[in-house]
């Protein structure tokens, strides 16, 4: 069974048709990169997967739960589906270590010593062990994003969503974040959906690339094929634009 | 003035004590009630939002004296017996809670919406996110206006004087009318209010600095 499955999903903001007839499957352990022009609905798409956005019609099944059902237990879903945001959304009133430990403590009721051990190990993995007691405002953008990733990982999710994780970062910070993401992708057990413009990242670790435009899946290819030659003209144009900008 | 105080210190201290008691009670309850209505105002539930809105608009837009008189005169006639102190303290609590509700609501709305979103995406329930993430940041933001509300509350407790609440103002009036030293009698009242409000004011400033 697919980890994430969209069946004829539609979403509107008032009259605006944000997602049009989405049909999509993501298998467990797959790394899927979603690209497309800004305003195309990529963020809306990824935000439906953990229920931050509701869908109007169709079926969206994530980890066996149908999110079209109004009674779907989103808190239960989010134990298994983590998200990393463009603007980090770290808890401003908590230290780095508390940011990571809070949800496992409250939601998973994880044992305190165990919780701390896991948090410190994750901080070490993202290269920020010495920042455990710092507050988010004392960190650079790239550091904040790595803490945010550690915070999501602490929940041991099956699915991790990245919504333009490097778009708000200074160029020299981007690689640190991408490297962390690459190592998660290469471990291979977690399902990743990544909205990004980082083609280098997509080329290196993506299994599939989805080109999204005007609320629709325009192209859905294995990554190699996509980068060799996209089938659709719109995708080709988009790709040539962002690659010449590099 | 000193002699006046020496001769009437018991009267003043009774008033001072009653003013402090009324203020502390009203402060605690108005903070709790105000926060509850602030949260109701931002809930997705429309009915609760409307109830909170009606409550706030009623108590914010009627003069404190009218509210206090209602509890002093109308409630004892139809519901239950109540002395001036109790009626005044309840009136002051409700009146102040409506302002605190608006202040706290503004604070909650000033917290970046990404905080709630990040917490929810991280697996916290709405109420966990409120309690651990949003509200602590909201209260920090509204310390200065809350300080204003608290100082106003202490001063507004002088409404008890109209309800025979034996507060500072009431006791001052009685000293003034028995000794005919009107000027000095009220100066002493003013000094006693300052003894409460100045430390409160400085404490709020200290909190503001400490929490930044």
- How far from each other are the two terminal CA atoms of chain A, in whole angstroms? 38
B44 touches chain A (CB under 8 A): no
**How far is B17 from B20, CA to CA, in rounded Å?**
5
> Does the distance separating the beta carbons of A89 and B121 come in below 8 Å?
yes
> Does the distance separating the beta carbons of B112 and A85 come in below 8 Å?
no
What lies within 8 Å, CB to CB, of A240 at 6+ separation is none
Instruction: State the smallest CA–CA distance between residue A237 and chain B in angstroms.
Output: 33
**How far is A47 from B150, CA to CA, in rounded Å?**
42
Specify the pLDDT at position B3.
Answer: 86
Question: Residues of B with CB below 8 A from A155's CB?
Answer: 122-123
Specify the pLDDT at position A245.
Answer: 55
Structure tokens given for A33: 């990169």
Specify the pLDDT at position A14.
Answer: 87
Specify the pLDDT at position B9.
Answer: 87
pLDDT, tens digit (0-9, with 9 covering 90-100), for A205-229: 999 999 999 999 999 999 989 988 8
B110 touches chain A (CB under 8 A): no
> Does the distance separating the beta carbons of A50 and B137 come in below 8 Å?
no
Structure tokens given for A193: 């959906």
Place of tokens 């333009």: A164
Structure tokens given for B145: 């206006």
Q: How confident is the model at residue B5 (pLDDT cuts 50, 70, 90)?
A: confident
Instruction: Provide, rounded to the nearest whole percent, the portion of chain A with pLDDT above 70.
Output: 98
> Does the distance separating the beta carbons of B118 and A85 come in below 8 Å?
yes
ipTM value > 0.95: no
Model pTM score: 0.87
Instruction: Provide, rounded to the nearest whole percent, the portion of chain B with pLDDT above 70.
Output: 100
Specify the pLDDT at position B196.
Answer: 94
> Does the distance separating the beta carbons of B120 and A102 come in below 8 Å?
no
pLDDT, tens digit (0-9, with 9 covering 90-100), for A84-107: 999 999 999 999 999 999 999 999
B112 touches chain A (CB under 8 A): yes
Question: Residues of A with CB below 8 A from B133's CB?
Answer: 91, 93-94
Structure tokens given for B199: 């430390």
Specify the pLDDT at position B212.
Answer: 63
What lies within 8 Å, CB to CB, of B82 at 6+ separation is B71, B72, B75, B76, B90
Q: Kind of pairing, strands A16-26 and A4-13?
A: antiparallel
What lies within 8 Å, CB to CB, of A93 at 6+ separation is B133, B136, B137, B140
Q: What angle do CA B47, B51, B57 make, to 5 degrees?
A: 140
Structure tokens given for B107: 């604070």
Specify the pLDDT at position A240.
Answer: 84
Q: Kind of pairing, strands A208-213 and A191-195?
A: unpaired
**How far is A66 from A48, CA to CA, in rounded Å?**
11
Q: Is the per-residue pLDDT at A246 higher than 60?
A: no
Specify whether the CB–CB gap between B106 and B100 falls below 8 A. Answer: no
Domains of chain B listed by start with CATH number: 2-211 (1.10.3720.10)
Cα-based torsion angle of the residue sequence B191, B195, B197, B200 in order, rounded to the nearest 10 degrees? 170
Which of B121, B132, B136 is closest, CB to CB, to A83?
B121
> Does the distance separating the beta carbons of A78 and B120 come in below 8 Å?
yes
**How far is A64 from A66, CA to CA, in rounded Å?**
7
Pick among B110, B119, B122 to test the A interface (most A CBs inside 10 A):
B122
B143 touches chain A (CB under 8 A): no
Three-class DSSP category at A34: strand
Interface of A with B (CB under 8 A): 50, 52, 74-75, 78-79, 82-83, 85, 87-94, 102-103, 106-108, 148, 151-152, 155
Number of A to B CB contacts under 8 A, please give it.
66
> Does the distance separating the beta carbons of A50 and B124 come in below 8 Å?
no
Average pLDDT over residues A150-168: 95
**How far is B161 from B174, CA to CA, in rounded Å?**
10
**Among A94, A181, A83, which residue's Cα sits nearest to residue A138?**
A94
Question: Mind giving me the DSSP string for A187-221?
Answer: H-SSEEEEE---HHHHHHH-SEEEEEETTEEEEEE
pLDDT, tens digit (0-9, with 9 covering 90-100), for A11-58: 999 889 999 999 999 999 999 999 998 889 999 999 999 999 999 899
Q: What is the DSSP code (8-state) at residue A53?
A: S
As a whole number, the mean pLDDT across chain A is 92
Specify whether the CB–CB gap between A154 and A126 falls below 8 A. Answer: no
pLDDT, tens digit (0-9, with 9 covering 90-100), for B45-96: 999 999 999 999 999 999 999 999 999 999 988 988 889 999 999 999 999 9
């Amino acid at each position: 069974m697919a980890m994430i499955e969209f069946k004829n999903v539609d979403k509107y903001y008032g009259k605006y048709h944000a997602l049009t007839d989405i049909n999509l499957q993501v298998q467990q352990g797959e790394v899927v990169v979603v690209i497309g022009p800004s305003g195309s609905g990529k963020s809306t798409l990824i935000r439906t997967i953990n229920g931050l956005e509701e869908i109007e019609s169709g079926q969206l099944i994530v980890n066996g739960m149908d999110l079209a059902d109004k009674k779907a237990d989103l808190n239960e879903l989010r134990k298994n589906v983590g998200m990393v945001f463009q603007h980090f959304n770290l808890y401003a009133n908590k230290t780095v270590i508390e940011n990571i430990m809070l949800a496992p403590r409250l939601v998973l009721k994880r044992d305190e010593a165990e919780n701390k051990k896991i948090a410190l190990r994750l901080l070490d993995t993202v290269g920020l062990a010495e920042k455990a007691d710092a507050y988010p405002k004392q960190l650079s953008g790239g550091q904040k994003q790595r803490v945010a990733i550690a915070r999501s990982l602490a929940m041991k999710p099956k699915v991790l969503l990245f919504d333009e994780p490097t778009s708000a970062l200074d160029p020299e910070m981007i690689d640190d974040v991408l490297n962390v993401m690459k190592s998660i992708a290469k471990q291979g057990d977690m399902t990743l959906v990544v909205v990004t413009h980082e083609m280098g990242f997509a080329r290196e670790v993506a299994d599939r690339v989805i080109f999204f435009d005007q609320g629709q899946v325009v192209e859905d290819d294995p990554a190699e094929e996509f980068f060799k030659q996209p089938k659709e003209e719109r995708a080709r144009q988009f790709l040539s634009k962002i690659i010449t900008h590099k | 003035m000193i002699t006046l105080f020496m001769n009437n210190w018991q009267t003043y201290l009774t008033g001072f004590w009653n003013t402090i008691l009324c203020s502390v009670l009203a402060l605690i309850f108005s903070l709790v009630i105000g926060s509850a209505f602030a949260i109701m105002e931002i809930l997705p539930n429309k009915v609760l939002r409307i109830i909170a809105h009606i409550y706030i608009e009623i108590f914010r837009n009627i003069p404190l004296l009218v509210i206090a008189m209602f509890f002093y005169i109308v409630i004892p006639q139809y519901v239950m017996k109540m002395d001036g102190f109790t009626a005044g303290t309840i009136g002051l609590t409700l009146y102040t809670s409506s302002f605190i509700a608006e202040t706290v609501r503004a604070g909650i709305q000033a917290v970046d919406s990404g905080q709630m979103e990040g917490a929810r995406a991280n697996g916290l329930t709405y109420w966990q996110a409120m309690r651990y993430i949003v509200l602590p940041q909201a209260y920090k933001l509204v310390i200065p206006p809350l300080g204003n509300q608290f100082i106003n509350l202490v001063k507004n407790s002088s409404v008890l004087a109209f309800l025979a609440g034996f507060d500072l103002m009431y006791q001052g009036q009685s000293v003034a009318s028995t000794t005919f030293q009107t000027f000095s009698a009220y100066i002493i009242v003013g000094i006693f209010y300052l003894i409460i409000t100045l430390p409160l004011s400085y404490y709020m400033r200290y909190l503001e600095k400490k929490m930044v």
